[in-house]
Amino acid sequence: DLATALNNRGQIKYFRVEFAAAMEDYTAAIQCQPGFEVPYYNRGLVLYRLGCFDEAVKDFRKVLELNPQFEDAALSLKQAILDKEEKQKRGY
């Protein structure tokens, strides 16, 4: 289906370190199929790598709302929160 194809294309771009283009595909996949948790997770990973912790946390929480058993999302959520706190402690 289209959402899966967009997500997969986003993955290819992510592996090429084309983060902006990957996020466009993940967002398009979400718009196409809002209940599909995987593109939220993938977009959250890109946001996390870019240091956009608040936005990453939102995406990881949405994944867990859609699929509470998504363990990687739970781990990524915890890490994003910890890194955000560390960033704040250091005054960035």
- Can you give the pTM of this predicted structure? 0.94
Predicted local confidence at residue 55, as pLDDT: 97
Query: Of all helices (H) and strands (E), which one includes residue 15?
Result: helix 2-15
The pair phi, psi for residue 7, each rounded to 5°, is -60, -45
DSSP 86: H
Q: Cβ neighbours of residue 86 under 8 Å, at least 6 residues apart?
A: none
Q: Set out the domains of the chain in order of their start, with CATH numbers.
A: 2-90 (1.25.40.10)
Is pLDDT at 67 greater than 90 in this prediction? yes
Rounded to whole angstroms, how far apart are CA atoms 2 and 29?
7
At 4-58, the pLDDT tens digits run 999 999 999 999 999 999 999 999 999 999 999 999 999 999 999 999 999 999 9
* SS3 at position 50: coil
